[in-house]
Amino acid sequence: NAGVTQTPKFQVLKTGQSMTLQCAQDMNHEYMSWYRQDPGMGLRLIHYSVGAGITDQGEVPNGYNVSRSTTEDFPLRLLSAAPSQTSVYFCASSYKGFLGEKLFFGSGTQLSVL
Amino acid sequence: GQQVMQIPQYQHVQEGEDFTTYCNSSTTLSNIQWYKQRPGGHPVFLIQLVKSGEVKKQKRLTFQFGEAKKNSSLHITATQTTDVGTYFCAGLTGGSYIPTFGRGTSLIVHP
């Protein structure tokens, strides 16, 4: 099993450009989510999904879109990149257990917006 | 909304000293998880606590969940350089599988 795979690992964008961060998991997890990590701010939830066709907003959703057409994939789209979106992005997945299940994280994407 | 506060933000220790990070929630939690992130890496799950007053040990790491299920701590005995990283707590409320993360405590171990 590859676990949670994120691509690309690094990306530099110009302000106003759009791009998609890819996330795929091969563990048949129902729950998938996207976090951004900024220095001193911990992990902040952007969007999440509890199953194919179902998505919802997290704490910091503005400027990002997601979709979940399959169980395996959960791409994150930046519509018009801004310098404030410079961050490290992590995708995570887990089973949808009653008491909560451990999250498996991808290796992250370091994004710089100039 | 639910908030999870974690202190301290940073902790410098000499190798061999003990280390503790504390997590406090504004609401009662159903369970709490702990993760470790090595420098340049991604968070990795360490443990989940579910029961009031629960204490779990993993070698030199001791995890506690408060009686009121609103606070938790991670204690490392006799730190080693391999313990370097950021430790996050993540709290879940009843029926939710969406954990709220604390801001993390970065542990720096000086040899």
Contact B44 A33 (CB under 8 A): no
Structure tokens at A56: 């919802």
- Does the beta carbon of A52 lie under 8 angstroms from any beta carbon of chain B? no
Contact B98 A48 (CB under 8 A): yes
For residues A112 and A94, give the distance between their C-alpha atoms in angstroms, rounded to a whole number. Answer: 28
Mean pLDDT of B46-70: 97
pLDDT of res. B13: 97
* CB contacts, 8 Å: B50 with chain A: 99
Tens digit of each residue's pLDDT (9 = 90 or more) over A64-92: 999 999 999 999 999 999 999 999 999 99
Who contacts B75 (Cβ-Cβ below 8 Å, separation ≥6)? B18, B19, B20, B61, B62, B63, B64
Task: State the smallest CA–CA distance between residue B27 and chain A in angstroms.
Answer: 16
pLDDT of res. B2: 67
Residue in B42, B48, B97 nearest the CB of A31? B97
The more confidently predicted of residues A99 and B25 is B25
pLDDT of res. B3: 85
Task: State the smallest CA–CA distance between residue B79 and chain A in angstroms.
Answer: 23
Strand, helix or coil for residue A41: coil
Mean pLDDT of B45-61: 96
pLDDT bucket at B97, cuts 50 / 70 / 90? confident
Structure tokens at A48: 């999440």
- Does the beta carbon of A74 lie under 8 angstroms from any beta carbon of chain B? no
Tens digit of each residue's pLDDT (9 = 90 or more) over B61-94: 999 999 999 999 999 999 999 999 999 999 998 7
Peptide bond into B8 cis (omega under 30): yes
Name the closest residue on chain B to residue A94, using Cα atoms: B97
A4, A10, A27, A43, best to mutate vs chain B, most B CBs in 10 Å: A43
Bridge partners for B24 per DSSP: B5, B71
